Structure 1
Amino acid sequence: MNRRKALGSILGLTGIGIVSYVGLKYVSGNSASNKGQLPKYLNLIAELVDVIIPPTETPGAKEAKVQDYIVDFMESCASNKEYNNFFNGLNDLQETCLNTYDASFENCTMEQKMVLLEDLDNNSGSNSLFSKINNKLRGRSFFNLLKTLTIEGYCTSELGTTVHLNYAPVPGKYEAITTINTNQKAWATR
């Protein structure tokens, strides 16, 4: 065997290995988790969920203690990628608030909070193929996680199911096709 060819093959395999390792580190992100840090951000998360589902005639997400659900879910069930995305998103949001309004998110006015969340919603990505691949590789974005967990937490909370939704502990018989009256609440179970 030719010595040059053998050295070239070894160097080529080494190069492929290095590129693969670097690519894997890039895709997986920081494997070190910040788990255990979110309880410090409970007030910030409470303000965020209160902007997403504010109190009206029905209680808001903050009153339903959705912030506790989000912290528990992220601490116990989220992957390291999604946890880090959420944790970094909270920090980025606070930094943006401090740079833009010279105040933390909790101290901003409702209009400022709405502008910040609308900006996050507009930048959270579309339903394109690229965003789906990005979500698969890097995990869901901060705002996507926040919205999803807020709605899940609210709709499964006691206040959400009993006040906002039409809670019926014994729903009765199953009807596949029903007509819904004007302003009728959706049905829920706990």
Structure 2
Amino acid sequence: MERRELLKLITLVTGGALIGGELFLSGCKNEPEMGGAAFNDQDIAFLDEAGETIMPKTKTPGAKEAKIGAFMQVMVNDCYTKEDQKIFHEGIGKLDKATKDKYKVSFMEATPEQRKELFTALDKEAREYAGKKSEFDREQSAKANEAKQKGETYEKKTMDPHYFTMLKQLTLLGFFTSKTGATETLRHVAVPARFDGNFPYKKGDRAFFE
């Protein structure tokens, strides 16, 4: 699976384009002055557990084995704008608060079943929000185009991304581009051969990773 194909899949699954996707494709390196809040060991452990809830270990490894927390740290620092970095870091606190509000325990203390139930609700909330954001963005683009045709200027307004969308996107991206995801979940072909449209496939076979 090529990077661009993976980005399209993530967009389809999460309802929005990959945040930081353009920088990711170009090598992902923010300017030093971008800064951003630092991640500590507790944050990385938290993100490992959050990622594992999205991509749990089954017959194949889960997100934690792909060191998803460390991957998120790099992506947020190198590929996110300062504004998006702030949203992501605040999202860690919001996720923990949502867990406490619902189950009276912190996210790290919650059971796998509680985490899964919470994430199912947050995923629905984030997808509904993404739909509203897409509609809002289209309206803003239309207003900007209309102003341009009149020789006027229009400063487009924006809606912030949902923190859970960020978390889910980074989990999927980090897992399927990791050695663990590429070789133990997908079928890896180090040097792809010719295309074979009649290659045998049976239900349950893993997808290929190039």
Q: Shorter-chain TM-score: which interval?
A: 0.7 to 0.9
Map of 1:2-151 to 2, 5 A cutoff? Answer: 34-37=36-39, 40-126=42-128, 130-132=132-134, 137-151=158-172
Percentage of matched positions with identical amino acids? 25
> One-letter code of the match for 1:112?
Q
For 1:40-91, what per-residue CA distance to the aligned partner results, in whole angstroms no more than 9, with x for missing partners?
Answer: 4111111100010100110001011111111110011101222122111111
CA distance in 1, matches of 2:129, 2:96: 27
Alignment match, 2:203: 182
Alignment match, 2:180: 159
Residue segments in structure 2 that go unaligned for 5+ positions in a row: 1-33, 138-156
Residue 133 of structure 1 and its aligned partner are, at CA, apart by 5.1
Structure possessing the higher radius of gyration over alpha carbons = 1
Residue 52 of structure 2 contacts residue 64 of structure 2 at CA under 8 Å; is this kept in 1?
A: yes
Match of 1:170 among 178, 191, 206: 191
Residue segments in structure 1 that go unaligned for 5+ positions in a row: 1-31
Alignment match, 1:21: none
CA distance in 2, matches of 1:88, 1:106: 17
Structure 1 residues 124 and 38, CA, compared in 2 at 3 Å: closer, same or farther? farther
Structure 1 residues 52 and 128, CA, compared in 2 at 3 Å: closer, same or farther? closer
CA distance in 2, matches of 1:36, 1:173: 45
Structure 1 residues 114 and 171, CA, compared in 2 at 3 Å: closer, same or farther? same
> One-letter code of the match for 1:121?
D
TM score, norm. by length of structure 1: 0.73
> One-letter code of the match for 2:120?
E
Structure 1 residues 129 and 123, CA, compared in 2 at 3 Å: closer, same or farther? closer
TM score, norm. by length of structure 2: 0.67
Residue 176 of structure 1 and its aligned partner are, at CA, apart by 5.4
Residue 167 of structure 1 contacts residue 187 of structure 1 at CA under 8 Å; is this kept in 2?
A: yes
Classify the secondary structure of the residue corresponding to 1:62.
helix
Alignment match, 2:145: none
Residue 101 of structure 1 and its aligned partner are, at CA, apart by 2.2
